[in-house]
Amino acid sequence: MITLEDIKSAQARIAGVAVNTPLVHYTDFSTDRQTFPKPESFQPVGAFKLRGAYNKIASLSPDQRRQGVIAFSSGNHAQGVAYAARAMGIRAVIVMPARAPAIKRAKTLDLGAEIVTVEGGGEEEWRVAAETLAAERGLAMVPPFDDETIIAGQATVGLEILQDLPDVELVLVPIGGGGLISGVAAALKLIRPEIHVVGVEPEWANDAQASLRSGRIVELPIEQTGRTIADGMRATRIGDITFEHIRTFVDDIITVSEDEIRKAVRKLILDARLVVEPSGAVTFAAFLYHQHELPPAKRSVTVISGGNVDPELLSQILAEED
């Protein structure tokens, strides 16, 4: 389990590389409810993943950095690792599925990473391919979420929330593999245990919710998780380390529908002027459409995890009507 000292060390390490993202005030005028979206889409790579990736790579030994790093990712973690590696002048190899969004693949290449494509399969197949290459080339692995150094980097989001909104009562956090919510919840609860932390997942990818409620890690079929529009949340299971953090620090996990995610993306763009990807909009969807499942709170934060949305998909969503 990470400690407050781990999180503060990570904050110092990533300073000047990751952006201290602001809280944006939002009022739903139909209900007068208010929240503060925290747009991690403002990061140089368009998502929170830079925090953990840079913290992990900066924590490697000089010899490990000289050899280079490797990661497996469908997009945002890939960009975070590629950006961090370039910032430190080391090589990065990324194992990506062939179905990864074209915009995320292109941006990863632009950052100078080598991409190795894997046809079909799920995250386990990508991980095995990455581990094989790591052994062959002597590369250091940078995991996407199930790693305490990665989690400590993501936890800096929680420290920033407390710095900008000390009296926050409720924080909504997206869940893919669980690294972001593990870190944010730890940072918040270690400082102010009374804050409510609620995770949000798509209905089609509710592995973390099922795991928290059953007390054991539940794995879903990729045929199910692959159906969600939230491509950054298609992990079939959370990690062992993230599960322990979630069980310790997270109050509840709720789900939102595909239609609610699409409407939340559109509303964030048109009303809050924030361009987000579907994975980043799930918390806002929960705020808009699931108040009955949330603890009452006058001051809440909705963490917007990223903004790397495919332009064609974005065009489709904007053309839809509520």
Please give the positions annotated as active site.
Answer: 49, 305
- Token pair in block for residue 179: 């690294």
Whether 188 contacts 197, CB under 8 Å: yes
Strand ranges across the sheet with 114-118: 114-118, 92-97, 69-72, 140-141
| 3-state secondary structure at position 176 | coil
Beta carbons of 282 and 232 less than 8 angstroms apart: no
DSSP for 38-80, please give it.
EEGGGSTTSBTHHHHHHHHHHTS-HHHHHH-EEEE-SSHHHHH
Spatial CB neighbours of 196, under 8 Å, sequence gap ≥ 6: 169, 170, 171, 251, 252, 294, 295, 297
Strand partners, 255: 201
Find residue 304's DSSP bridge partners.
39
- What's the burial of 35, exposed, middle or buried (CB within 10 Å: 0-12/13-18/19+)? buried
Cα dihedral 213/216/221/227 (nearest 10):
30
For residue 79, give both structure tokens.
């960009």
Q: Which of 82, 90, 40 shows the shortest CA–CA distance to 63? A: 90
DSSP string, 92-136: EEEEEETTS-HHHHHHHHHTT-EEEEE-S--HHHHHHHHHHHHHH
**DSSP annotation of 145:** S
